[in-house]
Structure 1
Amino acid sequence: MNSQRTQNIRTVSSRLNSFHSAMYFSETVGREYAKHGLEPGVEGNLAGRSAPLGRVNAGVVSAAYYNYSHAFLSTQFPKIWDTASPETMVQARFDAVAAFMAELFDSREDIALLTEAATQVATAVEPVLANMDFSGRVLAQATADALTAHKPNTAFERLWGVATIAREFRGDGHVASLVTTGVPGIDALMLDVATGASFKPRAAQKTRGYTDEEWKAAQSRLAEAGLITVGEDERGFDLPAITDAGRDLKEQVEQLTDGTVAAAWSVLSDEEIEALVSPSRSLIKVLAQSGAFPASVFAQPAKKTS
């Protein structure tokens, strides 16, 4: 693929990821999950995203998610399934998405234009989904099976489904790329944090369940390798910052990831992919305006999660 085509796929993929992942920080979504006895936030989100896999144990979730602490997930699974079954949570996530999308879009005066943008993006990306080979992509395949069996009620719910499958497909490819380059999950998370364009350090550590000892060990390892430097934030907490070598490593992984999705996107021409840049931008602006990515969690609006 030429560089502009690759960059446009990255841009659209990043925005699809944001459209999917904004729900993880929503109080509205948390209240929907709480109806089923789950704590809003990490517990509910783990249940909703894992549900398409069925009643799996912590090992399956840890392997699929890649950058979560296995020890932490072992405290969550199978306990979560004793509270709410996977089947319950598949439907609960659809209910949560419906409530979240209604909250975001229903009262907006420009809803007609935004509906048109959501329809345009979903319609254009659906052939990409149809062209996907899910071999070796366990989370993406399970998610696609669950989502394609569901009938969305609005253009925004439809786009969320499209975005979610595309996100998990690229995400599984990203995991394979990290494995290929020998970057462990916690290191990948630390490097992402160190860019200053994703999770804040304490938020990343907490949501992924790493202990202070594990976090500091990874930080020290990456600093010794010359991939990050470590300073302090305004409160005196460690603040990793990525180096040129760290950026080079991340770009190497991203280029491998680009290769894992190239065949799926080959169904669209360069012009068709470029045509998605503008409408996807309009939709992401709504997320930014709504505060969907809270400043307490992100250094700036999220673009990617492993």
Structure 2
Amino acid sequence: MNSQRTQNIRTVSSRLNSFHSAMYFSETVGQEYAKHGLEPGVEGNLAARSAPLGRVNAGVVSAVYCNYSHSFIASQIPKLWDTVSPETMVQARFDAVAAFMAELFDSREDIALLTEAATELATAMQPVLANMDFSGRPLALATADALAGHEPNTAFEQLWAVATIVREFRGDGHVASLVTAGVPGIDALMLDVATGASFRPRAAQKTRGHTDEEWKSAQTRLAEAGLITVGADERGFDLPEITDAGRDLKEQVEQLTDGTVAAAWSALTDEEIEALVSPSRTLIKVLAQSGAFPSSIFAQPAKKTN
């Protein structure tokens, strides 16, 4: 793929990922999960995302999630399924999506324009979805199967379904790319944090369940390898900052990841992919305006939209 095509695919994929993941930080979504006896936040989100996999053991969930602490996952799975079944949780996630999208869009005066953008984007992505080979992508295929049995009620729910499949498809490819490059999940998380445009360090550690010892060990390992430097934030906590070598490694992994999705995206021409940039920008601005990505969790709450 030429560089502009690759960049456009990355841009649209990133925005679809944001459209999918904005719900993880919503109080409304947490309230939906609480109806099933789950704590809002990490517990509810863990149950919702892993539910399509069914009653698998902790090792499966930990492997596909990649950058979570395995000991943390093992403390939650399969215990969560004593509270709510995976089948019930799949539906609970759909209910949460509906509530979140209604909260986000229903009262907006520009809902007609936004509905048009969501419909355009979801429709245009159908050839990519149809072209996906899910071999070796367990979380993506399980998620796609769960979504196949659900009928969205609005254009925004439909786009969330599309975005979720695209996100997990690229995500499984990204995990394979990290393995190929020899980058452990916690190191990948640390490098992402170190860019200053992702999770705040303490939020990343907490939501992924890493102990202080695990986090410090990864930080030291990456610093000794010259991939990050370590300073301090305004509260005195360690603040990793990525080096040029770290950026090069991240780019190497991203290029490998690009290769894992190239066949799916070959269903669209360069011009068709470029046409997705505008409607995705329109929708992502709503997320930025809504505060969907809290500044207490993200160093940069919303990605640049232009």
Question: TM-score interval w.r.t. the shorter chain?
Answer: over 0.9
Q: Over residues 140-165 of structure 1, what are the superposed CA-to-partner deviations in whole Å (9 max), with x where a residue is unaligned? A: 00000001111000000000000000
CA distance in 2, matches of 1:128, 1:53: 23
> Which of structure 1's runs of 4+ aligned residues deviate more than 2 A?
none
CA distance in 1, matches of 2:80, 2:297: 24
CA distance in 1, matches of 2:92, 2:36: 8
Look up the match of 1:121. Answer: 121
Look up the match of 1:229. Answer: 229
The answer on whether the counterparts of 2:288 and 2:302 sit within 8 Å (CA) in structure 1 is no
CA distance in 2, matches of 1:139, 1:147: 12
Q: Structure 2: any 5+ residue segments left out of the alignment?
A: none
Q: How does 1:45-56 map to 2 (within 5 A)?
A: 45-56=45-56
The answer on whether the counterparts of 2:68 and 2:186 sit within 8 Å (CA) in structure 1 is yes
Look up the match of 1:183. Answer: 183
The answer on whether the counterparts of 1:193 and 1:201 sit within 8 Å (CA) in structure 2 is yes
1:109 match: secondary structure: coil
Look up the match of 1:270. Answer: 270
CA distance in 2, matches of 1:149, 1:122: 17
Q: How does 1:126-137 map to 2 (within 5 A)?
A: 126-137=126-137
The letter of the residue matching 1:216 is: K
CA distance in 1, matches of 2:117, 2:48: 27
The answer on whether the counterparts of 1:198 and 1:302 sit within 8 Å (CA) in structure 2 is no
Look up the match of 2:21. Answer: 21
Q: How does 1:59-70 map to 2 (within 5 A)?
A: 59-70=59-70
The letter of the residue matching 1:70 is: H
The letter of the residue matching 2:41 is: G
Give the deviation of 1:246 after TM superposition.
0.1
Look up the match of 2:216. Answer: 216
**RMSD value, Cα:** 0.6
Give the deviation of 1:52 after TM superposition.
0.4
The answer on whether the counterparts of 1:199 and 1:302 sit within 8 Å (CA) in structure 2 is no
Equivalenced residues, count: 303
CA distance in 2, matches of 1:212, 1:259: 35
1:141 match: secondary structure: helix
Give the deviation of 1:301 after TM superposition.
2.8
Q: Over residues 182-235 of structure 1, what are the superposed CA-to-partner deviations in whole Å (9 max), with x where a residue is unaligned? A: 000000000000000000000000000001011001000000000000000000
CA distance in 2, matches of 1:302, 1:184: 26
Establish whether residue 152 from structure 1 lines up as the match of residue 152 from structure 2: yes
1:75 match: secondary structure: helix
Look up the match of 1:38. Answer: 38
Q: Structure 1: any 5+ residue segments left out of the alignment?
A: none
Establish whether residue 138 from structure 1 lines up as the match of residue 138 from structure 2: yes
TM-score normalized by structure 2?
0.98
CA distance in 1, matches of 2:126, 2:169: 13
Identical-pair percentage: 88
Q: Over residues 50-88 of structure 1, what are the superposed CA-to-partner deviations in whole Å (9 max), with x where a residue is unaligned? A: 000001111111000000000001110111000000000
CA distance in 2, matches of 1:171, 1:61: 14
The letter of the residue matching 1:218 is: A
Look up the match of 1:281. Answer: 281
